[in-house]
Structure 1
């Protein structure tokens, strides 16, 4: 096998400041130049056909070739093209060639195909197309790429491009700053996993090694891929498939380092985001706006030392799709204090927050007074509620908060076993719904189904209460394995999905934070998920596998498959939903798509509560509590994002999920 050279992140190639002698096929004079270099296995890839594409702005809008060129013997290329008038257009490169320029072709196609998404700042500047940029493209664009075409409605591909730039630096072909530095870098295994995936693609050095890679990267029921780009896409879309043999292939090359020393549970890439690094402390849940920005609530005020007491968080955070603070964020005021699990956007774009009153042991503020309101902010982060929050409707220790499509806001009052409904989002019209007869005990989460009905989990009665759109109680649903339920989510087919913790006692009502801590440390975890159909029918038993461990938050993606955040085990689970046509071949409803014993694990995770899916198909989880918490300040400090793993969901999420 030909000699490999290790790529060093940040390497510079000054020769690209001159125009390549390679032939360029492009538009008439007046065009701009895109310079670059193609490498494979750390060496120049000569004779590769390099095409510059503009991504399509819709599912039915194909990508457009803007120009193309052949790489020279030293791997350089120069593409002349006319820059699109839209500054937000997603541009990307695809380079097709044979290993070492040997001309080996598989089924009429060059086996080495690599890609790179161009940062706006790098357009007309020199870039590198290599295995790292290919992995970044394949994973970030996994939900939008078909062959060489990237297409999808805004803001999906545009935001996915931002995520690609957090993985690989297209100007150098090295590791991007976000992946290289804390809280990523050597603090988690993601960087090593990323390099192992790049080494996997570098293994395509000749007919035998390429064929081995393509055989292992074959999707169930499909033909093997014919090039490395498709192989990377297949791995990104089925990360738990043939993990061990793929890892062994990745070990045949050591071009990119550091790499994994042992096989992962699955080939997932999880990035940690911390905003400005001084704001996340016990994030409980999040909601996305129409642009894919994440609005995040905090249990606690930020404190670097877990041994020092913190009081309740008083900020509403807003992260851009690539994990930075949005302009002006974080936002404060409006009565925000110790928000728990409740955050939602309404049809007008306003954000509503439930003020549960979380605070660390030793905080001397009046928790009872500060836990009886919801807060409202406009799309710019300006508080619309007064400094004490909206207090109508007998709100008490609110947890779940959701909007329906009419703009009514529903609040689960964990402190007094009721629900508050704010019709049309008018706080002064709020009404308190007490179903009586012990039908609600420590209600925790709410979802709205396809009929506009609200479904509320009742933790202490191990049941779910159904309310008509006007708030009238319809029925209480038990059975089907519902057990100490926490999160609940509706799908697009009329079903709701319940996360059964089996053990959790929320710290509201007569349960203390010490009771809660004791419950989550119990060795007995009857973890499961229950599907309830539109008429309230449940299966004979719940779904119990898929790596579930203290299930908490639950979300449904654009394909109606189910995702579960776990308060234990550092894992997220994916289950086949009610539409089995969108699941891997042979899967049944409730069967795990993620590895059955472990789920998708990550050492970036701690104890997770909220889980949501953005318009790019990224799965966001809230690192709510540390694995070994101190009650003075138990909060986790990160949002963890699994890149490109789920079917995209249109934002804001109001009612059942829809594809963008």
Structure 2
């Protein structure tokens, strides 16, 4: 078995080396002959790109707008580079011819600067060269038919394309332009096209159709945001009101509409009622919201190919920002049909489409739950908890005693029965350290498994005697390589030294039925206390879990909270009990050390101020909610959520694990939900502590 694994690894690495030149050629092809092959002493001259389009606001075509094509900055603080400019004619049309961007894979976008409608002049009068509050935008990278010159109006710039650009690239927007390190802006560019179609200036087909469209409020929220921007394109007074309303707490007033949209995306709970009234002044885009939201977030449902997601448990992002997702159950759309454990590893691109060759199978994968993690070598590990619906004829006992391993291409490295050395019993949480050591929580055996260097044949089972660690569930790692493991059945957190020695067991501080745990950059541990969830391992069952959590949307569970534990193992005297925490499950820390908590009952995610209070709104204390205190960031696209993670673009992903009214034959939800541009980006994969992009 060891020789088979070594051969598989060698084959995988050789394939990666062989694939590299092909990948570079693919990038070169995408950007045309401007990208020369390595070693070419006479690279071909870069062909110019022609961009045809029209600028159109709520009142119609916009004449005299200054249109500029930019290459986004490829690092923090790097200024965008203008590639070409033009003025719109009296019908709002423009044509720009420019050289390609310098950096393959960088984001290309377009802005249109114009004064409000009541200040506009005809093109022959020219618009004064001064900063204007109206800056519309459209992201070109990843969009079809915007650079080949074959369409008379290949690009249509509107308030809708501006909202799409400003939200998707919110974390990379400064002074009305975009800049940031790979892969954040690139991935965000692709997400923007899930909101608006830059060839028509209207709603994208993705946003218009199920599982989005009329099934959630996101489409209506998006149109209302476009109406708020239109208040600025229609009048000087509307501009002043928009920029005043969008000003973030403690931040400067945005100088233009694009920056205003990004500021709203990053602080969506600021003045929601005022922004709604602004959007209602001159409603143009329909359908729109009838009442003000508690926060102006945009949440997109992803369902992959539409027949693969059933009970997603958790997410891990690879270096390029693709989401690798483990499934509790085998897919079936009918909740009345008994389903067995999921045997597929899902991989979604940032825009929600399947990656090439995905989903993946094999390696003993069966009914994985909360455990999915990358190692520093790029391999993906999944823990086989053995979830299955009532009525599945399979005996899960021999199937929940393993973990599975896949390479970066989705090929199984573990044998057909999974890796079994290490005493796995219903394994759940997992995380890798920078040295490659993998830690696994064995929910069914009151133990953890340590895998030195990611070598499964060396796996070491570490039992914790008595009742000190019952139903081990979540795993995090601090900067010293110590593993912190939640005990769902013991109201505790166990701390293990890098060599596997149990250092201490933490109790108190409000720990009650804990589930998820996440480290911040300073080594503090944040624990989500469900207060009520009995994980169905040892002698527990899924029906007992369903009975304990009760109906969705009910009152907060007794003990629902978040506990902060310092690096020395001392918990804060009292847990944090924001009103939006009703049944906390998953927990994650973003690039500014703020804390995100998924709710299994309330269709929401809560954001808490971390220990770095300078990253929070002025006056906030550690543990205080940044999201609306009693509502969190909610969405009717959510059901019952377990895993929550942050990607390199600042999108917050949640796993729709169970339906709101779960039928135990097949209780699984069928989507991932992405809150666009809401968090501070994180460098991925997550190995050890979180790192800012």
TM-score by length of 2: 0.89
* CA distance in structure 2 between the partners assigned to 1:652 and 1:164 by the alignment: 23
Distance 1:92 1:377, change over 3 A: same
Cα drift, residue 85 of structure 1: 5.6
Cα drift, residue 450 of structure 1: 1.2
Counterpart of 2:71 in structure 1 is 54
Cα drift, residue 407 of structure 1: 0.8
Question: Is the contact between residue 46 and residue 100 of structure 1 (CA under 8 Å) also seen in structure 2?
Answer: no
Q: What do residues 275-324 of structure 1 show as CA deviations (whole Å, max 9, x unaligned)? A: 10000000000100001011100000001100110000001111111111
Counterpart of 1:650 in structure 2 is 683
Cα drift, residue 101 of structure 1: 6.3
Counterpart of 2:32 in structure 1 is none
Question: Is the contact between residue 40 and residue 99 of structure 1 (CA under 8 Å) also seen in structure 2?
Answer: no
Q: Secondary structure at the match of 2:339?
A: coil
* CA distance in structure 2 between the partners assigned to 1:594 and 1:524 by the alignment: 17
Where in structure 2 are the equivalents of 1:436-585 lying within 5 Å? 436-521=465-550, 525=557, 526-545=559-578, 547-585=580-618
TM-score by length of 1: 0.94
Cα drift, residue 618 of structure 1: 0.4
Counterpart of 2:14 in structure 1 is none
* 2:262 corresponds to 1:245: no
Cα drift, residue 119 of structure 1: 3.6
Cα drift, residue 365 of structure 1: 0.2
* 2:74 corresponds to 1:74: no
* CA distance in structure 1 between the partners assigned to 2:648 and 2:490 by the alignment: 35
* CA distance in structure 1 between the partners assigned to 2:579 and 2:168 by the alignment: 24
* CA distance in structure 2 between the partners assigned to 1:219 and 1:513 by the alignment: 44
Counterpart of 1:4 in structure 2 is none
Structure 2 residue corresponding to 1:626, chosen from 637, 645, 659: 659
Cα drift, residue 60 of structure 1: 3.7
Counterpart of 1:10 in structure 2 is none
Counterpart of 1:190 in structure 2 is 218
Question: Is the contact between residue 485 and residue 494 of structure 2 (CA under 8 Å) also seen in structure 1?
Answer: yes
Distance 1:102 1:632, change over 3 A: same
Counterpart of 2:8 in structure 1 is none
Distance 1:642 1:107, change over 3 A: farther
Cα drift, residue 108 of structure 1: 4.9
Q: Secondary structure at the match of 2:605?
A: strand
* 2:399 corresponds to 1:370: yes
Question: Is the contact between residue 118 and residue 235 of structure 2 (CA under 8 Å) also seen in structure 1?
Answer: no
Cα drift, residue 546 of structure 1: 5.0
Cα drift, residue 86 of structure 1: 4.6
Q: What do residues 202-257 of structure 1 show as CA deviations (whole Å, max 9, x unaligned)? A: 01222222222222112222343232112212111110010011101101122111
Counterpart of 1:110 in structure 2 is 132
Question: Is the contact between residue 546 and residue 591 of structure 1 (CA under 8 Å) also seen in structure 2?
Answer: no
Q: What do residues 558-617 of structure 1 show as CA deviations (whole Å, max 9, x unaligned)? A: 000000111011000000011011111111110000000010000000000011100010
* 2:673 corresponds to 1:640: yes
Question: Is the contact between residue 450 and residue 459 of structure 2 (CA under 8 Å) also seen in structure 1?
Answer: yes
* CA distance in structure 2 between the partners assigned to 1:601 and 1:274 by the alignment: 19
* CA distance in structure 1 between the partners assigned to 2:413 and 2:48 by the alignment: 49
* CA distance in structure 2 between the partners assigned to 1:208 and 1:606 by the alignment: 41
* CA distance in structure 2 between the partners assigned to 1:74 and 1:509 by the alignment: 70
Deviates more, 1:222-231 or 1:279-288: 222-231
Q: Secondary structure at the match of 1:244?
A: helix
Counterpart of 2:459 in structure 1 is 430
* CA distance in structure 2 between the partners assigned to 1:32 and 1:443 by the alignment: 57
Counterpart of 2:434 in structure 1 is 405
Q: What do residues 107-154 of structure 1 show as CA deviations (whole Å, max 9, x unaligned)? A: 952121111100443224520111001000111111111113311111
Q: What do residues 437-458 of structure 1 show as CA deviations (whole Å, max 9, x unaligned)? A: 4211001110011111000000
Counterpart of 2:642 in structure 1 is 609
Output the aligned Cα RMSD: 1.6
Distance 1:422 1:602, change over 3 A: same
Question: Is the contact between residue 47 and residue 101 of structure 1 (CA under 8 Å) also seen in structure 2?
Answer: no
Cα drift, residue 368 of structure 1: 0.9
Counterpart of 1:335 in structure 2 is 364
Cα drift, residue 463 of structure 1: 0.9
Structure 2 residue corresponding to 1:420, chosen from 429, 443, 449: 449
* 2:196 corresponds to 1:137: no
* 2:398 corresponds to 1:381: no
Deviates more, 1:325-334 or 1:82-91: 82-91
* 2:127 corresponds to 1:94: no
Counterpart of 1:390 in structure 2 is 419
Question: Is the contact between residue 447 and residue 454 of structure 1 (CA under 8 Å) also seen in structure 2?
Answer: yes
Counterpart of 2:258 in structure 1 is 229
Question: Is the contact between residue 69 and residue 84 of structure 2 (CA under 8 Å) also seen in structure 1?
Answer: yes
Question: Is the contact between residue 47 and residue 100 of structure 2 (CA under 8 Å) also seen in structure 1?
Answer: no
Q: What do residues 524-569 of structure 1 show as CA deviations (whole Å, max 9, x unaligned)? A: 6031101111001122211100511210000000000000111011
Counterpart of 1:44 in structure 2 is 61
Q: Secondary structure at the match of 1:166?
A: coil
Question: Is the contact between residue 45 and residue 99 of structure 1 (CA under 8 Å) also seen in structure 2?
Answer: no
Counterpart of 1:298 in structure 2 is 327
Q: Secondary structure at the match of 2:85?
A: strand
Q: Secondary structure at the match of 2:193?
A: helix
Q: Aligned residue pairs: how many?
A: 633
Question: Is the contact between residue 407 and residue 423 of structure 1 (CA under 8 Å) also seen in structure 2?
Answer: yes
* CA distance in structure 1 between the partners assigned to 2:686 and 2:256 by the alignment: 37
Deviates more, 1:104-113 or 1:637-646: 104-113
Q: Secondary structure at the match of 2:52?
A: strand
* CA distance in structure 2 between the partners assigned to 1:321 and 1:392 by the alignment: 35
Question: Is the contact between residue 599 and residue 605 of structure 2 (CA under 8 Å) also seen in structure 1?
Answer: yes
Question: Is the contact between residue 45 and residue 101 of structure 1 (CA under 8 Å) also seen in structure 2?
Answer: no
Counterpart of 1:24 in structure 2 is none
Cα drift, residue 180 of structure 1: 1.0
Cα drift, residue 42 of structure 1: 4.2
Question: Is the contact between residue 175 and residue 255 of structure 2 (CA under 8 Å) also seen in structure 1?
Answer: no
